[in-house]
Amino acid sequence: MADAKSFVAAAMALSGTVSAPHFDRTAFKVKRTFATLAADGLSANLAFTPDEQELKCAVASQIFQRIDNKWGLQGWTTMWLSEASDEDVAVALAMAYAHAIGPARKR
């Protein structure tokens, strides 16, 4: 089971990542924000493509849920940390990080 501490450690291990306050959350970014951690540490939001989001939510619906707003339509996805393993966290962060360091994507 993952938690806020393991999420932060995995995010900060990605090259060039910095953290900063983002409203009531903590943002993790390189060129762009790729993840945010809720203040209560129970969930994180990650920037996937809509196709990646659809797959993650279909395969692991207990872990991933599309955010129910405009950001969710663009691929932003909630990850419930108590349902995720540390490997789930690492894979999801790597995916979101890859988009943040690459060229801007069309949404």
Concatenated DSSP letters for 14-71?
STT-EEEEETTEEEEESSSEEEEEETTSSEEEEE--HHHHHHHHHH-TTTEEE-SSHH
**11-64 pLDDT tens trace:** 999 999 999 999 999 999 999 999 999 999 999 999 999 999 999 999 999 999
- 106: pLDDT confidence band, cut at 50, 70 and 90? low
Residue 17 lies in a domain: yes
- 98: pLDDT confidence band, cut at 50, 70 and 90? very high
Q: 35 - beta bridge partners?
A: 28, 46
Domain that holds residue 65: 4-101
Identify the residue whose tokens are 């690459």: 102
Residue 102 has what pLDDT? 83
Query: What is the pTM assigned to this prediction?
Result: 0.92
Here the CATH number for the domain that contains residue 16 is 3.90.1150.30
Give the phi and the psi of residue 82 in degrees, each rounded to 5. -65, -20
How many domains does the chain divide into? 1
